[in-house]
Amino acid sequence: MRLQWLRAAFGILVFSNAYAQDEAEIEKLMRKRLLSCTDITLNSSILIPQYLNDGKLDSAKIILKYWEDKCGALEPIVRTKILLAVRESRFKEDIYDRSIIDYLLYYKNRVTALREVDAIHWRNVNLWYGYPLDDAFDAFTTYAATELLDEKERRLFAHRFL
């Protein structure tokens, strides 16, 4: 009886070790990763402000195009496209479609929710709203937008939206 128990225990150990080795080998095969829209969104929301602050407009546009190609027309992408078009004096309404009202409401609701939580939970709110923006991205686009407005429009904008 004792010998049978030792054989069973030895068999389990050998099987467990073999499975662990097989799993490690399988994981080695799975090293190629496909970037998710979540990863692309977070990284793009960090890179675009950096490039624009460094005066690298072309690099920012390349990242923006890549982001849109991989993730579709998310609200922050459309927001950034509009800001860049206004900045370059080439704004046309064909930049956005009928979704713009939904995007504006979505942005307003998300920013309101972010104001109501502490800094520790900002990423959870962004994930709830579908994408993990870097926490500085909203501040950057808000600042960029207010810089594009003249003083009279700034006061009106601040009164209505900030």
Read off the pLDDT of residues 45-77 as tens digits, 9 standing for 90 and up. 999 999 999 999 999 999 999 999 999 988 899
- The pair of structure tokens assigned to 138 is 């909203």
Question: Are 56 and 9 contained in the same domain?
Answer: no
Q: Which domain holds residue 10?
A: 1-32
Say how many domains are in the chain. Answer: 2
**pLDDT of 11 above 90:** no
Question: Are 4 and 46 contained in the same domain?
Answer: no
Closest CA to 162 of 116, 119, 112, 125: 112
Query: What mean pLDDT is predicted for residues 11-26?
Result: 56
Question: Are 83 and 139 contained in the same domain?
Answer: yes
Question: Are 26 and 44 contained in the same domain?
Answer: no
Question: Are 71 and 23 contained in the same domain?
Answer: no
Question: Are 26 and 81 contained in the same domain?
Answer: no
Question: Are 143 and 97 contained in the same domain?
Answer: yes
pLDDT tens across 81-133, in order?
999 998 888 888 888 888 888 888 888 877 777 677 665 555 555 565 667 77
- 89, 57 in Cβ contact below 8 A? no
What is the predicted pLDDT for the residue at 76? 92
Question: Are 21 and 59 contained in the same domain?
Answer: no
Question: Are 6 and 84 contained in the same domain?
Answer: no
Question: Are 149 and 91 contained in the same domain?
Answer: yes
Question: Are 69 and 12 contained in the same domain?
Answer: no
DSSP 96: S
Q: For 20, how many CA atoms within 13 A lie in the half-sphere containing its CB?
A: 6
What is the predicted pLDDT for the residue at 151? 55
Question: Are 48 and 77 contained in the same domain?
Answer: yes
What is the predicted pLDDT for the residue at 5? 53
